[in-house]
Homo-oligomer: A and B are copies of this chain.
């Protein structure tokens, strides 16, 4: 999923590169090597596989093959370009020429082969200095995130009354995708989940040919993309005559989500938000069935910091975006998950996944 030529002003990307320079000073880094599509997009405005970047406090060099030369030059104004040169040689030349000493790379993003080569050129694995910039969303990012979340909430309201017995999970997922695009999204934000019946008990179920039967549970975990920015929302409901067991479980998850959301404000850690949802579910006796974390940040990546999971020390701050999505999964029977995407405000939170 690639992003077309950016409508954002080049000044936004230049400003991000300048702010990264400030992080370098604090972290005592001379330079950082970037390899992830999302990081490179955030810094340059060009969204594509197949190119790399080396940023110093002053300059950002982009390394690309002749194949991408035209596009990278056009889409990343203000950067410097190294075209068609062997990557390790090009990096080593810059290291030498600019006498760069402390140069990091992201060990979770770079593949082993390239990391091993770059280590021999004097680079070293180091926490990603862009993380602290990307975690706080700017005004232009919030516009896109809001729109993505709103379209998603509207679409779930659109699909629910259209759900009929006999529809397959795949056909439901595809109907949602089409509706996203019709409402102005640029595509899906991730592989959509539509699950029916016992499949709802698999947290990461893949939509298949299972048809919806009367009187059975349904789960939608869906999100779209506006520009480079994503949304994430889950709704669970019972199609037909609800069972008392489903209702009981639903209410526990609903209470857990509410408890989690209520904690969301600046200064609180991801671990505290997780403890709030998990506490409700554990107290109700379903602790062992809540097999995933409470949530995650959302932005250019669908899963990014802040991490909302046990012991997470990520501290919430205004204009962070995160999900709160507790769930209970009863193997072979049904699962319930409820998820919203929130923005941290100056003194609390705002739910973005509203129609």
* Contacts from A to B (Cβ < 8 Å): 1-5, 47-48, 50, 65-71, 105, 107-116, 125, 170, 174, 178, 181, 186, 191, 201-209, 291-292, 331
Do the beta carbons of B174 and A70 come within 8 Å of each other?
no
Cα-based distance from A303 to B311 in the complex (angstroms): 40
Contact pick for A111, options B1, B68, B112, CB 8 Å: B112
Q: Are the CB atoms of A71 and B112 closer together than 8 Å?
A: no
- Contact A208 B68, beta carbon cutoff 8 Å: no
Residues of B within 8 A of A181 (CB): 174
The contact of A1 among B50, B113, B191, by CB within 8 Å, is B191
Bound CA–CA A110/B115 (angstroms): 10
Q: How far is the CB of A170 from chain B (nearest CB, A)?
A: 7
Q: Is the CB of B178 within 8 A of A5?
A: no
Contacts of A207 in B (CB 8 A): 4
Does A71 lie within 8 Å of B111, measured CB to CB? no
**How far apart are the CA atoms of A67 and B204 in the complex, in Å?**
8
CA A186 to CA B66, docked complex, whole Å: 33
In the complex, 30 of the A-B residue pairs with CB atoms within 8 angstroms, ordered by the A residue number, are A4-B170, A4-B207, A5-B206, A5-B208, A47-B206, A48-B204, A48-B206, A50-B204, A67-B203, A67-B204, A69-B291, A70-B331, A71-B204, A71-B206, A105-B112, A107-B111, A107-B112, A108-B111, A108-B112, A110-B112, A111-B111, A112-B112, A112-B114, A112-B115, A112-B125, A113-B125, A115-B115, A115-B116, A116-B125, A170-B186
Q: A202 touching B112 by the CB < 8 A rule?
A: no
A178-B178, A205-B71 known; A109+B107 contact, CB < 8 A: no
Whether B109 contacts A111 by the Cβ 8 Å rule is: yes
Closest to A46 in B: B206
List chain B residues, Cβ under 8 A from A114.
112
Across the interface, do B125 and A2 meet the contact criterion of CB distance under 8 Å?
no
Q: Are A209 and B70 in contact (CB under 8 A)?
A: no
Give the distance in Å from the alpha carbon of A50 to the alpha carbon of B4 in the complex: 29
- Which residues of B sit under 8 angstroms from A331, Cβ to Cβ? 70
A320 to chain B, nearest CB (A): 24
- CA of A314 to CA of B135 in the docked complex: distance in angstroms? 45
Q: How far is the CB of A328 from chain B (nearest CB, A)?
A: 13
Check if B67 sits within 8 Å of A291, measured CB to CB.
Answer: yes
In this complex, which of A50, A113, A174, A209 has the most chain B Cβ atoms within 10 angstroms of its Cβ? A113
